[in-house]
Structure 1
């Protein structure tokens, strides 16, 4: 064979091999690039999913220790964002929240979600037409909502009567709260024994005052760090003080079923006088009335507190170490009153969705997941739930962990302490729905509404001054001024309007079975 022919064969082979290598490289490069693009796209998608839409939740619940939103694995807030594609920024003003929200309402700058307890602002929100009818909201944005399926019929019925439609989601309660009250009085068993006080000694107004004076003497001589009595901080007016007023026999309804402000009643006056005495003698430290919920929780968990009056639901304490004395009976012999709740009570947190909300589908998923109860399935420890307790409601009990909580030893002990008051002999109760003021009650009667709201605003200011009185003479003077102010605002027209509404409510709820069938369609 010619040497040229011999050389030609390997050269051709080499060229073919090079071509094959080049083709192989091109294919590999293309596939590699495609995979890279696909991976980048996947990363981009994941990145987009990790950035949920941020919404603002505004609340007037100043003692709510709302969670700091985190997207770290294992946090409940991340689980909520994963289910709803939204995150929350909480706006909870320390004071004047309702005035701030009223201004936002006027300026058409409502936050995305609103959770409030103030009756005036609730009526303003509904009357404005700027919040969603929740039936329409869920049907449009989450038609398979657990809330639509499971909200108790009685709750829906009462809300429709109060608001002339379904606009609010009431939370912060469980079924047992209708038979009991979150506010109660508890005593440290070990300290009672050390000081030599029996629980029977503190069942009356004078007996309790005597026992607390004995405790104050013991503190001075033997235990400087002990706290004889603790109220529930900034919430004291609606919590500790109101508990004492009801315990002394105060009621919003007089013997003829007419409306009255509890602070103008004998029981209300006694509660103010009793608390003024505690402050004046130094038994109750006035600085504790300015404490927020986390500070009160810390004191109850770490300090030597003899007696606590207020909401015990969010206290992180061993209930085995505490005992309740139930009602503190007035020295006048008046029967204690149980301030029942209903699902349409204004004092409960009511959640609204603004029509200007930035992410309506996400909000629907968030509310359904949290309030509907499925959130509890992603709870890994009880402490995760505490910041969301404001959203607790009977729908939570339908979940496995909800049932577990209801049947837990912790809840049973809590229930036992709260239940002592509700089992008091001769206890007076009334249907709280009698005090419902429907959204349209003050329509075309702005002056009446202004007077009604002023009564509560002015009373709060007067109470602060009355409790700070330096003598019983000053106490009587300030209390008389409050009564005069109340009388001037509560003119005959307002009184007649309130009593007329109570009478309408009495008739309405006596025939509630018939009403439920028709109103549920609204």
Structure 2
């Protein structure tokens, strides 16, 4: 669960790959512990066109390169994809470029080439281009025209719909990972376990391998402070697992900085450290300033410098991808990880070791850990659009109904009853060992594969609280991903989220943002790998001076003006808790 998903929904972000990962009007409210399809659900019947006509193949494009749904489409009616086809009359050919997806779709938009039929995107600028060009359907119009009895017209979370309309000028996108107040009124959490997830869960975390802790004689309380963690790195450096040396610290690979310029903060390894050390994109006077300027960000960089200097992690970690991160964790030789836990596979069925989070690592400067969380309805992570040129719109409308129904969601998340899951006495889903394996192997099985339709509120309503350490929503996943939030100062970050394309693409400020981001990516690595503290501090001072020369003050001023307008509109006030 990118990028969002800091995505506090997601990802995540389950961003997550929904380890979370990753952020309504409620007629026909479901009761807790039930999985009833709304009475007006319009699903294909046994005599439907979908079952009596050859399937229609559509193209499905996405700019999320890490999403790998089964391809080619499996036509076996006993598979997840085959079931979708039998229910809707559709099959899909996926087009998910490994890189430059936005550029490729933009070229299709301006050329005479036909756009893909279905487009699942995360690039707000690209989404706006499609809407402004009139190439995608307004879903209200689409459903009223092709499926007027669709439950989506009456049972879609109203706060989420309003947020999408405010963002796009209409309801054009179906969002993934919905988790708003209205969504949770439609789908109340099945237990306190999932209530805590809604309040505190975040993929970004610091976590430790309990087996290596025992081998080194390290107690959990020793890992609650910055100095204690640095001391623990020294204790485990000489240890070996199966004859190979322990890795004291694993960072989040080539994405360890999680940089954005002009946002609510950073993600991944750097963003996790910033939050634990109390960095915020707002100063003591309540004015926006890019989080790179916060003194606590300097302290986060100093920590990574000390860790690198002590040999806790090798600089080569700064260039690896998510596959390499997972492979490292699965060796059982990694002592600690800081960053997006969804990228580690630490709860996969074939994962090794037990991981814990003692809580936020407390800064030696005595600052309070913070957690920004938008209390305003978000707009999900992946946004799915329907091209106006797509054939068989009636079938697409029925497909939307099926994929968002209880039947479609349980197929999407869990696969097949009896094999992948069972239902308890209250009708709640209990995932089987086979189900866990199938979800981990989603690119082949189709179980858990259709991220664009993942619905966090539905999942937390339909699922029994787990008892094992395996799976995206296991006991271990929840402990690692909620403990920091429970022990941090939470502030409402809603007003810090700027409208889509607020700084217009191609403008001077947008170009300045891109240039600053490129500069920071190189300079931050130099700071962390500096030869000594004097060099480190000079590189940091040079960085701050340079980003100001490159236009950061103008970017901050524009965002600050909008930030204060949004605070007034939302009735919120944010001030820096530390610096």
Same fold (TM over 0.5): yes
The equivalent of 1:148 in structure 2 is: 153
The equivalent of 2:486 in structure 1 is: 423
The equivalent of 2:202 in structure 1 is: 181
Which of 275, 279, 296 lines up with 1:267 in the alignment? 296
Alignment of 1:9-24 (within 5 A): none
> Do the aligned partners of 1:180 and 1:340 also contact (CA within 8 Å) in 2?
no
> Do the aligned partners of 2:384 and 2:452 also contact (CA within 8 Å) in 1?
no
Distance in 2, Cα, partners of 1:270 & 1:305: 24
The equivalent of 1:76 in structure 2 is: 80
TM-aligned CA distance change 1:507 to 1:368, over 3 Å: farther
The equivalent of 2:176 in structure 1 is: 171
Distance in 2, Cα, partners of 1:406 & 1:504: 42
Distance in 2, Cα, partners of 1:165 & 1:231: 40
Q: Secondary structure at the match of 1:335?
A: coil
Distance in 1, Cα, partners of 2:121 & 2:528: 27
The equivalent of 1:226 in structure 2 is: 246
Q: Secondary structure at the match of 1:487?
A: helix
Deviation of 1:226 after TM superposition, in Å, equals: 3.0
The equivalent of 1:322 in structure 2 is: 355
> Do the aligned partners of 2:211 and 2:353 also contact (CA within 8 Å) in 1?
no
Alignment of 1:351-362 (within 5 A): 351-362=384-395
Structure 2, unaligned stretches of length 5 or more? 1-48, 181-196, 259-266, 421-434, 440-445, 573-579
Please state which structure has a larger fraction of its residues in helix: 1
Q: Secondary structure at the match of 2:154?
A: helix
Distance in 2, Cα, partners of 1:494 & 1:182: 28
The equivalent of 1:278 in structure 2 is: 307
> Do the aligned partners of 1:63 and 1:293 also contact (CA within 8 Å) in 2?
no
Distance in 2, Cα, partners of 1:418 & 1:406: 18
Q: Secondary structure at the match of 2:289?
A: coil
Distance in 1, Cα, partners of 2:545 & 2:363: 25
The equivalent of 2:567 in structure 1 is: 506
Deviation of 1:437 after TM superposition, in Å, equals: 1.9
Which of 239, 247, 250 lines up with 2:268 in the alignment? 239
Distance in 1, Cα, partners of 2:377 & 2:110: 26
> Do the aligned partners of 1:155 and 1:343 also contact (CA within 8 Å) in 2?
no
Q: How many residues align?
A: 459
Deviation of 1:479 after TM superposition, in Å, equals: 3.4
**C-alpha deviations, 1:50-69, integer Å up to 9, x for none?**
5431312222x333343333
Deviation of 1:154 after TM superposition, in Å, equals: 1.9
Distance in 2, Cα, partners of 1:461 & 1:108: 39
The equivalent of 2:368 in structure 1 is: 335
Q: Secondary structure at the match of 1:150?
A: coil
The equivalent of 1:117 in structure 2 is: 122
Distance in 2, Cα, partners of 1:491 & 1:361: 49
1:304 is aligned to 2:362:
no
Structure 1, unaligned stretches of length 5 or more? 1-44, 512-522
> Do the aligned partners of 2:289 and 2:560 also contact (CA within 8 Å) in 1?
no
Alignment of 1:98-497 (within 5 A): 98-107=102-111, 109=113, 110-172=115-177, 174=179, 176-219=197-240, 224-236=244-256, 237=258, 238-313=267-342, 315-316=347-348, 321-341=354-374, 345=378, 348-378=381-411, 379-380=415-416, 381=420, 382=435, 383=439, 384-389=446-451, 391-394=453-456, 396-397=458-459, 403-405=461-463, 407-410=465-468, 411=473, 413=475, 414-424=477-487, 427-439=488-500, 441-442=502-503, 446-490=507-551, 493-497=554-558
Runs of 4+ in 1 over 6 A off after TM superposition: 45-48
**C-alpha deviations, 1:140-174, integer Å up to 9, x for none?**
23333343333322222222223332223332364
Deviation of 1:327 after TM superposition, in Å, equals: 0.8
TM-aligned CA distance change 1:149 to 1:351, over 3 Å: same
Deviation of 1:271 after TM superposition, in Å, equals: 2.4
> Do the aligned partners of 1:203 and 1:327 also contact (CA within 8 Å) in 2?
yes
TM-aligned CA distance change 1:385 to 1:230, over 3 Å: farther
> Do the aligned partners of 2:332 and 2:352 also contact (CA within 8 Å) in 1?
no
**C-alpha deviations, 1:346-401, integer Å up to 9, x for none?**
7822333333445544443334433455323432223153333453224533xxxx
**C-alpha deviations, 1:3-38, integer Å up to 9, x for none?**
xxxxxxxxxxxxxxxxxxxxxxxxxxxxxxxxxxxx
Distance in 1, Cα, partners of 2:154 & 2:318: 42
146-155 vs 121-130, which moves further = 121-130
Q: Pairwise CA RMSD of aligned residues?
A: 3.5
Q: TM-score, normalised by structure 2?
A: 0.69
Q: Secondary structure at the match of 2:348?
A: coil
Deviation of 1:195 after TM superposition, in Å, equals: 0.8
The equivalent of 1:10 in structure 2 is: none
Which of 89, 92, 96 lines up with 1:88 in the alignment? 92
Deviation of 1:129 after TM superposition, in Å, equals: 3.7
Distance in 2, Cα, partners of 1:67 & 1:407: 28
Deviation of 1:46 after TM superposition, in Å, equals: 10
Deviation of 1:47 after TM superposition, in Å, equals: 11
TM-aligned CA distance change 1:297 to 1:376, over 3 Å: farther
Deviation of 1:277 after TM superposition, in Å, equals: 3.7
Distance in 1, Cα, partners of 2:454 & 2:117: 20
Distance in 1, Cα, partners of 2:567 & 2:279: 20
**C-alpha deviations, 1:53-108, integer Å up to 9, x for none?**
1312222x333343333222422122222233333333333344334444444446
Which of 62, 69, 72 lines up with 2:65 in the alignment? 62
> Do the aligned partners of 1:178 and 1:342 also contact (CA within 8 Å) in 2?
no
